Amino acid sequence: MQKNIFVSTRKGLFELAKTRSSWSIKATHFLGDNVTLALHDARDGTDYAALNHGHFGIKLHRRDKGKKTWAEIQSPKYPPKPEGLDDKDGWGKPVNWSTQLIWALEAGGPKQNGTLWCGTMPGGLFKSTDRGETWELMESLWRHPDRNKWLGGGADIPGIHSICVDPRNPDVVRVAV
Amino acid sequence: MAKINFTSNLRRHVDSPAVEVSATMLHQALQQAFAKNERLKTYVLDDQGHLRKHMRILIDGKVITDLKAFTDAVEPDSEIWVMQALSGG
């Protein structure tokens, strides 16, 4: 039985296949670009890759099942920051309402085709119900007063690094900051 | 007409041809350039519509000063360059 894994690196995305005794590179994607993570959605066979282009920002790409090419899709986008809002993180630094990293990407429940969850820096949790065509910021978490106490762990700014969709009830989603 | 040129490094990722615009302020020029190319906009501006941290815009050789509202003046024959700042380490 052949098994595949994605390896996301700062120099590209590598698709590895396991043969009887070893792993080998089956395909290389985004060569030279910083791929921060990849997701294979087992529900419909779609693949997703998050890229950090540095100067040019955070981008998200999708590859449909059986296809060789990727297409850029909408990245999670923060709403306009209200004028005059004094929004600071746990370090007291102003929060930049702009996606600075896609740090977690998870599929929704088995019967929620097209639903994706995305954790970002500076701490926004986003949900898509259309395979990443559009994203909605989970305002209930973003506007939670505790967010202003969040600190960056291993980074300068806070972020959502883990998302767990409860397999018993996919309406229950747990995140770690 | 004024002309907006984009760094060639953008072409790896997104279609970014030079664009001729009719504008007296930079935000008008950018609006025209991005009107038919929404993807290009996301490579130059952040979620708040401000210039990305490591991008720079020059008008006739001078770096612009308003990185948020883009109120810098544009002349009818201005050359506008959207570049990336040098960085590294």
* ipTM summary value: 0.91
The pLDDT score that the predictor gives to residue A3 is 86
Nearest CA in chain A to B43: A56
Query: Is the CB of residue A75 less than 8 Å away from at least one CB of chain B?
Result: yes
Token code pair at residue A29: 């994607």
Q: Is B1 in contact with B18 (CB distance < 8 Å)?
A: no
Mean pLDDT of all residues in A155-169 = 95
Distance from C-alpha of B72 to C-alpha of B78, rounded to nearest angstrom = 12
**Where does A3-79+94-176 sit in CATH, by number?**
2.130.10.10
Give the one of B42, B49, B52 whose C-beta lies nearest to A55's C-beta: B52
Say if residue B87's pLDDT is above 80. no
Tally the residues of chain B.
89
Say if residue A2's pLDDT is above 80. no
The CATH-assigned architecture of domain B2-84 is Roll (3.10)
Token code pair at residue B16: 């970014």
Q: Nearest CA to B17 among B43, B40, B1, B38?
A: B40
Chains A, B: CB pairs < 8 Å: 40
Q: Where along chain B do its domains lie?
A: 2-84
Q: Is B35 helix (H, G, I), strand (E, B) or coil?
A: helix
Query: Is the CB of residue A167 less than 8 Å away from at least one CB of chain B?
Result: no
User: Which residues in chain A touch residue B43, judged by CB atoms under 8 angstroms apart?
Assistant: 53, 56-57
Mean pLDDT of all residues in A45-54 = 97
The pLDDT score that the predictor gives to residue A123 is 97
The answer to whether the Cβ–Cβ distance between A53 and B13 falls below 8 Å is: yes
What digits encode the pLDDT tens for the residues B27-70?
A: 999 999 999 899 999 999 999 999 999 999 999 999 999 999 99
Q: How confident is the model at residue A154 (pLDDT cuts 50, 70, 90)?
A: confident
Q: How confident is the model at residue A153 (pLDDT cuts 50, 70, 90)?
A: confident
Distance from C-alpha of A55 to C-alpha of B46, rounded to nearest angstrom = 10
The pLDDT score that the predictor gives to residue B79 is 98
Q: What is residue A88's DSSP assignment?
A: B
Beta-strand runs (E) in chain A: 3-9, 12-18, 23-29, 35-41, 46-52, 58-63, 71-73, 101-107, 116-121, 125-128, 136-137, 162-165, 173-176
What digits encode the pLDDT tens for the residues A6-36?
A: 999 999 999 999 988 899 999 999 999 999 9
Q: Nearest CA to A132 among A66, A56, A47, A54?
A: A47
